[in-house]
Amino acid sequence: LGQALEEGERAYRETPHPWLSAALLSAWTLKGRFREDLFQEALRHPDGKGLGVLALAHHRWQRNLDPTPLLKEALRESRRLSNPYVYHLALTSLALYLWPKAPRKAKALSQHLLYQTHRTGFAVHLEVARLLRAQLLLEEGEKVEHLLGFTPSVPLTRAWQAVLAGENPGENLGGYGILGRWVRELWRRRGAGWMRHRR
């Protein structure tokens, strides 16, 4: 994260752009600091606005405040964009936030997320959607083999898939930015909340 911030700050100084400020704001938020200057810059462009609002929602979540209104605003903003990246992140974030609080809503969102990511071809977002859906179904005692039949592309999804299949992940859980951070944080808060596949 430190290296990403250093490189991001350098790139932003050389070529400032609202989208880059929003991405940099997201990284700072993961580090626990919300940069108002970057947020204001992000709001100047439609692409940056959705990601900036999403970073603000994550900041509220980190402070144990309800991010739901901001997550919904990020969803509305990102629906207007041609690139579904921010929409996927906002939808995933809302489902992850609701998972321990309202599992049925999270389950419905996971189905919608699975449909959306399957249509648009964002590989890692599709993997996360499949795994989140599998996690929620498994917690209800349903079979999930059909959701686990893919080759993971990053360490986070590889470890999550292994655990859901009842296997040892074989590596430290890490990787994939915002998605990885929030999944790991939810697991930490739920204790040993990883539901292993029952054979």
Q: For residue range 43-56, what is the model confidence (pLDDT) as tens digits?
A: 999 889 999 999 99
Q: Is the dihedral of CA 104, 59, 74, 129 positive or negative?
A: negative
Q: For residue range 99-117, what is the model confidence (pLDDT) as tens digits?
A: 989 999 999 999 999 999 9
Measured distance between the N- and C-terminal CA atoms of the chain, rounded to whole angstroms: 38
In this predicted structure, the answer to whether residue 177 has a pLDDT above a threshold of 80 is no
Counting Cβ atoms within 10 Å, is residue 169 exposed (0-12), middle (13-18) or buried (19+)? Answer: middle
**Band of pLDDT at residue 167, cut at 50, 70 and 90:** confident
Residues 6+ apart with CB under 8 A from 10: none
Which has the higher per-residue pLDDT, 186 or 39? 39
Q: Tell me the pLDDT of the chain averaged across its residues.
A: 85
Which has the higher per-residue pLDDT, 2 or 149? 149
**Band of pLDDT at residue 132, cut at 50, 70 and 90:** very high
Dihedral angle of Cα 155, 101, 147, 166, to the nearest 10 degrees:
60
Which has the higher per-residue pLDDT, 134 or 176? 134
- The angle at the Cα of 48, spanning 46 to 49, to the nearest 5 degrees, equals 65
Tokens 């929030």 locate to 182
